[in-house]
């Protein structure tokens, strides 16, 4: 069977932009509220377009995933987008891991974490 990995068909930069809008509707900012100056150069570009910035005030390093459900992930933006799409569509974790070439245990742990957060932040009826 010939496989066409969908992740090769998506633009990493477009996925980054989409995630930035979703995870940080007010733009990137540091953990403790220190603003990210618009002209600040990244501290680390090795995972571009995911750029690490170091806060000039407190030295904390920040990127797209800091303080989000995706904190600490090593997935690319494309992978995160496809995983989120799969979660929303209810794709079984095993199938998703297989399709995207991801470790099942890691993906399952992330899924549980996101589900837990979704429950905690569920809007209450009033
Ligand atoms: Zn800071």
pLDDT in tens, 30-64: 667 787 888 889 999 999 999 999 988 888 888 99
On whether the CB atoms of residues 114 and 122 are closer than 8 A, the answer is no
Question: What is the band of 119 on the pLDDT scale with cuts at 50, 70, 90?
Answer: confident
Ligand 1 centroid, distance to 66 Cα (angstroms): 13
CA of 18 to the centre of ligand 1 (A): 25
Note the pTM of the prediction, 2 decimals.
Answer: 0.82
The total domain count for the chain is 1
Is residue 23, in this structure, part of any structural domain at all?
yes
Residues 6+ apart with CB under 8 A from 94: 104
- Domain membership of residue 40 (yes or no) is yes
Pairing of strands 61-62, 50-54: antiparallel
Domain annotation covers residue 46: yes
Domain that includes residue 87, residue range: 6-120
47 CA distance to ligand 1 middle (Å) = 21
List % helix, strand, coil for the chain (3-state, nearest 5): 45, 10, 45
Domain presence at residue 24: yes
CA of 29 to the centre of ligand 1 (A): 9
Q: Is residue 126 part of a domain?
A: no
Instruction: Classify residue 1: in a domain, yes or no.
Output: no
Q: Does residue 99 fall inside a structural domain?
A: yes
Q: Phi and psi dihedrals of 52, rounded to 5? A: -95, 135
Q: Which residues pair with 53 in a beta bridge?
A: 62
Assigned domain for 48 exists = yes
For ligand 1, the distance from its centroid to the CA atom of residue 32, given in whole angstroms, is 6
């Amino acid at each position: 069977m010939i496989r066409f990995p969908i992740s090769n068909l998506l633009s990493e930069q477009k996925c980054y932009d989409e995630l930035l809008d979703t995870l940080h509707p007010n733009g990137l900012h540091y953990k403790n509220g220190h603003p990210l100056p618009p002209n600040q150069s990244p501290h680390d570009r090795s995972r571009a377009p995911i750029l690490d910035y170091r806060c000039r005030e407190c030295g904390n390093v920040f990127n797209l995933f800091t303080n989000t459900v995706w904190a600490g992930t090593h997935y690319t933006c494309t992978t995160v987008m496809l995983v989120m799409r799969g979660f929303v569509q209810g794709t079984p974790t095993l199938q998703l891991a297989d399709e995207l070439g991801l470790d099942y245990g890691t993906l399952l742990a992330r899924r549980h974490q996101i589900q837990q957060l979704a429950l905690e932040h569920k809007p209450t009826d009033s």
